[in-house]
Amino acid sequence: MFPFMNRLLKSLLLIPIFLSSAFSQDWIRTGTGLGVEKVRLAVPDFKASSQDPKNADLLKVFNDTLWNDLDNAGIFDMVSKSFYPLVPVGSPPDVKFEAWSSAPPSAAMLAFGNLGVSGNNLTVQGWLYDVKNVASPQVLGKQYGDTPTSDAARMIAHKFADEIIFRLGGGIPGIAESKIYFVSSRSGRKEIWAMDYDGSNQHAVTHVGSISLSPRVSPDGSRIAFSSLTRTGWDILMYSMELGRLVSFPRFGGTNLSPAWSADGTKLAFSSSRSGDPEIYVVDQSGANLKRLTSSKGPDVSPAWNRKTGAQITWVSGRTGLPQIYTMEADGTNPQRLTEEGYAVSPAWSPNGQFLVFSWIRHYGPGAPGAQDIYIMDIASKQWVQLTHDGGRNDFPYWSPDSRHIIFQSSRSGSEQIWTMLADGTNQKQLTSAGSNTQPNWSWK
Amino acid sequence: MKQRKLQCITMVFVLGAIMMLAACKKKVPPPPPPAPPAPTEPTASLTANPNTIEKGQSTTLTWQTTNATDVSIDGIGAVEPNGSQAVTPAESTTYHLTAKGAGGTQDATARVTVTAGAPPPPSSSGTEEELFSQNVKDVFFDYDKSDIRPDQQSALQADAGFLKQHPNIAFTIEGHCDERGSTEYNLALGDSRANAVRNALVQSGIGGDHIKTISYGKEKPFCTQSNESCWQQNRRGHFVYQK
């Protein structure tokens, strides 16, 4: 049903085999593309379909966004534009199959179309052609209409990219329309911000005016739970995206941190020191039925639910000294320690329920290099793979809804910024640059 | 012009001759040069006494360095390798000393906390708030730890002694952490530190009703450099008088 997911699973399942042969050597390439030939996709610039002066700017936004979305998807071999036939392609009659399917482009698929403004309307027509199937080439034909703004042009490009990724990527919805929530200090205070998955459209969500941290968007995208310093201390606050304001949520007393939604959206797990020691609690999304799950001295913080089953919770505990990653059943029973050494924090569960991604200073102590990097662990076997190797402190990893990407924060560029990469550690890109930007959280769709 | 050129050439020739002569003297191979001693890494320390002053008062910075050729303090400039100097900071300041030598560079910092007091009336014994900030000392912690260190017990006992004599003072204990590690974990750790100080005071007989705790994790550091002396400044339970 999900061939791609199976491929990802299979490739990640190869980890133990790699590990046994190369345990001392951390740099292992695994993941989404392993042993799978990527589809060779050509995407010539869309053509203007009218004479409007706005066309040029909107075409640039549209073409750049579409190309980036398809390139970022990690499942295409993007054919370089320098190999393309010189004749522009704006509609089906323009397609010279032979010119696209043979060398130098040697494309398997061709995405093309046109964009035009007329009056107050922006119209985009897009096609996806299987250029080797001359008799029946059309895989996709779409038409979009909106107002002639660059925001609209970008959204249409995201939608068309997601259609292509859905068709050619094993039926997994693309992420071009997904959002990322994060903490930014650029206004002078740490507030919750949002952006498109590619780093565009960055804007403030909250204006609390104190210190706000750890945003977690609900599975339906309607609310953001976060932790904020209020008059009474650190409390879990709830922001409604629909109402555009904070809505009420109980104050529990003590220091309340790191909320996490269950995949069905009915519950939140978080850390509270209301008893005098930071412990993990679960509460209904309404704030009712507070239940304590842990009871060990030392900090317990940063819970995350199993996104597939909802039956387990992973979290960070300092009960034995330096923080380590644990899992337990959602009722608090059967705690299991997963990391055996170092300083391990910020776990997040993969959408398929099989892996954790987390941040680890693996060799901790005097004389140790002490790099803080992002790792993936297969929960059943406890085998892990290191994804970042490029210096800086790397923390707060989070999965994309399609499992193919991981977002995280890194100080490698000199300040804390948000970065994205494919789930095998390749294609690392910086998304933010103004102020310091931390604790990214990816929307569920 | 030609004359000038000629002079120049003559000069070069003469210089060359001198150098050759000098070289000629060294016909006997010189004894192997003694291995240059490996440059020793400089050491540096910087203290402020007292480290808490009221606005308008001065404090004395004292520093010692070894193996340093170039010593400077931010905001003061180049200074002698060892010395002391009175300073009157208008607000809380972290003085940062850099000692450079052949063996490397060493930093040292000293934090001077300036409390905003009323302009000091000479004969007054001070307001309750002033007495609080003069007598109640912060408690410092080891990395990733929230238990009270043996060397902090005396400060804590002195704090408890003062607070017993002033049972009506309400105050907040802030838990702080250094910049290393995760934001969320450090907030939980700061909470444990603030509670550890609170529990120790309650055990010493201080009523818990007047004590609030709050964690700042690594959100409000006292000192922002990435070195151990600065990190130690930031791992603390900090007392704040509650008006």
Containing structural domain, residue A146: 37-168
Burial A310-321 (b: 16+ CB within 10 A, else e): eebbbbbbbbee
Angle at A132 between CA A130 and CA A133, to 5 degrees: 70
**Cβ atoms within 10 A of the Cβ of B151, count?**
8
The pair of three-digit structure tokens given for residue A291, joined into one six-digit string: 């239940």
* pLDDT band at residue B117 using 50, 70 and 90 as cut-offs: low
User: For position B85, what pLDDT does the model report?
Assistant: 80
Q: Do B215 and A234 touch (CB under 8 A)?
A: yes
User: For position A19, what pLDDT does the model report?
Assistant: 37
pLDDT at B2 over 90: no
User: Which residue out of B184, B212, B228, B242 would a mutagenesis test of the A interface target, given it has the greatest number of A Cβ atoms within 10 Å?
Assistant: B184
Q: Does A395 touch chain B (CB under 8 A)?
A: yes
Q: Are A224 and A239 in contact (CB under 8 A)?
A: yes
Q: How far is B235 from chain A (nearest CA, A)?
A: 15
User: For position B125, what pLDDT does the model report?
Assistant: 64
| Better pLDDT: B200 or B15 | B200
Q: How far is A301 from chain B (nearest CA, A)?
A: 6
Q: Do B187 and A298 touch (CB under 8 A)?
A: no
- CATH for B125-243 is 3.30.1330.60
Q: Are A214 and A246 in contact (CB under 8 A)?
A: no
Q: How far is B196 from chain A (nearest CA, A)?
A: 9
Task: Give the residue-averaged pLDDT of A168-173.
Answer: 91
Contacts of A99 (CB under 8 A, 6+ apart): A85, A87, A105
| Better pLDDT: B215 or A364 | B215
Q: Does A321 touch chain B (CB under 8 A)?
A: yes
Residues A44, B215: Cα–Cα separation, whole Å: 55
pLDDT at B158 over 80: yes
Contacts of A188 (CB under 8 A, 6+ apart): none
Q: Are residues A224 and A81 in the same domain?
A: no
At A131, give phi and psi (nearest 5°): -70, -10
* pLDDT band at residue B24 using 50, 70 and 90 as cut-offs: very low
Q: How far is A327 from chain B (nearest CA, A)?
A: 16
User: Which residue out of A255, A326, A364 would a mutagenesis test of the B interface target, given it has the greatest number of B Cβ atoms within 10 Å?
Assistant: A255
pLDDT at A155 over 70: yes
Q: Are residues A227 and A86 in the same domain?
A: no
Tell which of A168, A201, A235 closes a domain.
A168
Of B182, B199, B215, the CB nearest to A345: B182
Name the strands in the sheet holding A245-247, side by side, starting at the edge strand that comes first in the sequence. Answer: A212-217, A223-230, A233-240, A245-247
| Residue among A163, A189, A190 nearest A175 (CA) | A163
Q: What is the mean pLDDT of chain A?
A: 91
**Cβ atoms within 10 A of the Cβ of A79, count?**
21
Chain B residues whose beta carbon lies within 8 Å of the beta carbon of residue A276: 195, 199
* pLDDT band at residue B126 using 50, 70 and 90 as cut-offs: confident
Q: What is the mean pLDDT of chain B?
A: 82
Q: Do A273 and B182 touch (CB under 8 A)?
A: no
**Cβ atoms within 10 A of the Cβ of A188, count?**
8
Tell which of A127, A145, A168 closes a domain.
A168
Task: Give the residue-averaged pLDDT of B190-204.
Answer: 97
Share of chain A above pLDDT 90, in %: 88
Share of chain A above pLDDT 70, in %: 91
Residues A170, A2: Cα–Cα separation, whole Å: 6
* pLDDT band at residue A5 using 50, 70 and 90 as cut-offs: very low
Q: Are residues A216 and A153 in the same domain?
A: no
Of B146, B189, B214, the CB nearest to A233: B214
When mean pLDDT is compared across A362-366, A384-388, B137-141, the lowest value belongs to: A362-366
| In a domain? residue A19 | no
CA distances to A238, A243, A255, A370, A379 from A228, rounded to whole Å, are 10, 19, 10, 30, 32
Chain B residues whose beta carbon lies within 8 Å of the beta carbon of residue A234: 187, 214-215
Tell which of A141, A168, A195 closes a domain.
A168
* pLDDT band at residue B34 using 50, 70 and 90 as cut-offs: low
pTM greater than 0.80 (yes/no):
no
User: For position B40, what pLDDT does the model report?
Assistant: 78
Q: Are residues A221 and A350 in the same domain?
A: yes
Task: Give the residue-averaged pLDDT of A275-288.
Answer: 97
The DSSP code sequence of A373-419 is EEEEEETTTTEEEE---SSSBEEEEEE-TTSSEEEEEE-TTSS-EEE
Domains of chain B, by residue range, sit at 37-118, 125-243
* pLDDT band at residue B4 using 50, 70 and 90 as cut-offs: low
Domain count, chain A: 2
Q: Do B188 and A301 touch (CB under 8 A)?
A: yes
Q: Are residues A118 and A192 in the same domain?
A: no
We report the CATH number of the domain holding residue A135 as: 3.40.50.10070
Q: What is the CA radius of gyration of chain A?
A: 23
Task: Give the residue-averaged pLDDT of A236-253.
Answer: 97
Q: Which residue of B has its CA nearest to A232?
A: B214
User: For position B94, what pLDDT does the model report?
Assistant: 82
Q: Do A278 and B188 touch (CB under 8 A)?
A: yes
pLDDT at A150 over 60: yes
In this prediction the ipTM stands at 0.89
We report the CATH number of the domain holding residue A389 as: 2.120.10.30
pLDDT at B213 over 60: yes
Q: Which residue of A has its CA nearest to B147?
A: A298
User: For position B97, what pLDDT does the model report?
Assistant: 80
| Better pLDDT: A25 or B133 | B133
Q: Are residues A423 and A279 in the same domain?
A: yes
Chain A residues whose beta carbon lies within 8 Å of the beta carbon of residue B144: 318, 321-323, 343
The three-state secondary structure class of A211 is: strand
User: For position B115, what pLDDT does the model report?
Assistant: 76
Q: Are B139 and B160 in contact (CB under 8 A)?
A: no
CATH architecture of B37-118: Sandwich (2.60)
Q: Are residues A56 and A192 in the same domain?
A: no
The pair of three-digit structure tokens given for residue B72, joined into one six-digit string: 């400077």
pLDDT at A100 over 90: yes
A181, containing H or E segment:
strand A179-184
* DSSP-derived pairing of the beta strands B52-54 and B93-101: unpaired
Q: Do A299 and B185 touch (CB under 8 A)?
A: yes
Of A273, A316, A322, the CB nearest to B144: A322
Burial A1-26 (b: 16+ CB within 10 A, else e): eeebbebbbebbebbeeebeeeeeee
* pLDDT band at residue B73 using 50, 70 and 90 as cut-offs: confident
Chain A residues whose beta carbon lies within 8 Å of the beta carbon of residue B187: 213, 227, 234, 255, 257, 301
Q: How far is A422 from chain B (nearest CA, A)?
A: 23
Task: Give the residue-averaged pLDDT of A199-221.
Answer: 97
Highest mean pLDDT among A103-112, B94-103, B113-122: A103-112
Q: How far is A78 from chain B (nearest CA, A)?
A: 37
Inter-chain contacts counted by CB atoms under 8 A, chains A and B? 81
Q: Are residues A203 and A273 in the same domain?
A: yes
| In a domain? residue A1 | no
Rounded to 10 deg, the angle between the A55-72 and A150-168 helix axes is 30
Q: Does A425 touch chain B (CB under 8 A)?
A: no
Q: Which residue of B has its CA nearest to A364?
A: B181
Task: Give the residue-averaged pLDDT of A310-319.
Answer: 97
The DSSP code sequence of B7-51 is HHHHHHHHHHHHHHHHHHHTTSPPPPPPPPPPPPPPEEEEEEESS
Task: Give the residue-averaged pLDDT of A28-53.
Answer: 79
